Amino acid sequence: AYIYLHNTNSMGNVTSASTEESGLEPTPKQLNMVFKALKKEFEHSSAMWQVRDKEQLMMKLRTKFQKEYPSAMGAPTIDSDIAASIGRTKLVRINRVGATHRHSNRAEVVAKLEFTNPGLSVKDRIAIAMLEDAEANGLVSPGLTTIVDVTSGNTGIAWGMVAAAKGYQTIQVIPESFSMERRALMLALGVEVVVTPAALGLGGALKKYQEILDILGDRGFAPRQFDNPANVQAHFTTTGPEIWEQCEGKIDAIVTGYGTGGSISGITSYLRKKNPNFIAIAVEPMDTSLLHGDDPKPHALQGLSPPFIPTNAKVELFDEVIRCSTKDALDTTKELAEMEGIAAGISAGANVWAACQVAERPEMEGKRIVTILPSAAERYLSTNLYADLMDQAKNLNIARVDDSVEVKDVMQRNLTSLQEDGTKFRPNFHIT
């Protein structure tokens, strides 16, 4: 299996019959793990190994091998820095949200947990991609360049993480309408945070952003996340292939907000090359749907869509737009936490709600839909999503403790008891 995996050409012919000829030297443990995994699966059901081509066989072998020996075919166990740990996020099935009003033959909905990136959002992917692209083109230098951007928070946090790891300064401009948690996280990462009046919206933030760039001159770098091709390319080269491999080639549609445009455009471009019938459905706020022809105005679904259609939102790839109300997004976000154990942000709720609507359609029976969970719930504790819970948490009654209750099995070890028990310390044990 190991030799076949690495030495079969696209026609299914074995091109090398030994590890000596191929240059591969699997360890006995690796071979044993492969054999055990294959033997177990063949005994369970040989049908699952009816594969279309070499690529599908490789994905199935890799999946089974990694379950038996996780580090053998995965990424290095020690990354060079925090930026190198971006990506390779998990894909999980949505089992309970929306299930009470769906038929048993509904489509399967799976969610990409992008909030498990090291910076806790999908924006980590584009920050490192745009920086590496700028470095490759000689546009930036560590210690000399200051990265300046306008952000709703998640991209600014991602820039703070990546800039700290790579030796850059960064200034992020954020309208005051976005959550306080995002400002605090950027400050923690060493970002210079500039807050603009909520009444001026994104337009006011852009004016301030341009003012800062004018002052910095050649020392400033503007990533321009809404029209930077590296944004789309990041998802074409990482997120899309991850989804394809995790689904072992069975994926039929994506339902997600477009935000800066990079994720839906990059993922769709990649997966449609693999599956020409792949469907892309964008999600917009019901309050202001630009692709429906609405005029831009403020909405409560942070990050789902900006007040313009970004260049990176390749609308020619979209098959449909679904509009989600604030109530449906908030309710679904809370259901995700309470019913699935997934604590995510507001846009994740909108994405899952829309994906569940698509899953109900008769034509989607037996198909698989992927959606994106862009960011973690902790960034929304002060917003209308969880503000009531914060008030509830602050006002929880302090429980009365009965001093007469005897605690059983309480741990009382200390240095004296360790010595009395005859604990033998290592010869060079010492305290500094």
Torsion angle in degrees (nearest 10) through CA of 56, 255, 159, 303: -170
According to DSSP, the β-strands at 108-113 and 91-93 are: antiparallel
Distance CA 91, CA 24 (A): 31
**123 classed as catalytic:** yes
Residues written for the chain: 432
From 190, 136, 179, select the one nearest 154 (Cα to Cα). Answer: 179
Distance CA 320, CA 332 (A): 21
CB of 357 closer than 8 Å to CB of 107: no
CB of 154 closer than 8 Å to CB of 260: no
The active-site residue, picked from 64, 123, 208, 367, is: 123
CB of 126 closer than 8 Å to CB of 234: yes
CB of 355 closer than 8 Å to CB of 369: yes
CB of 354 closer than 8 Å to CB of 322: yes
According to DSSP, the β-strands at 169-175 and 220-221 are: unpaired
The active-site residue, picked from 177, 347, 367, 375, is: 347
- Report the catalytic residues: 123, 347
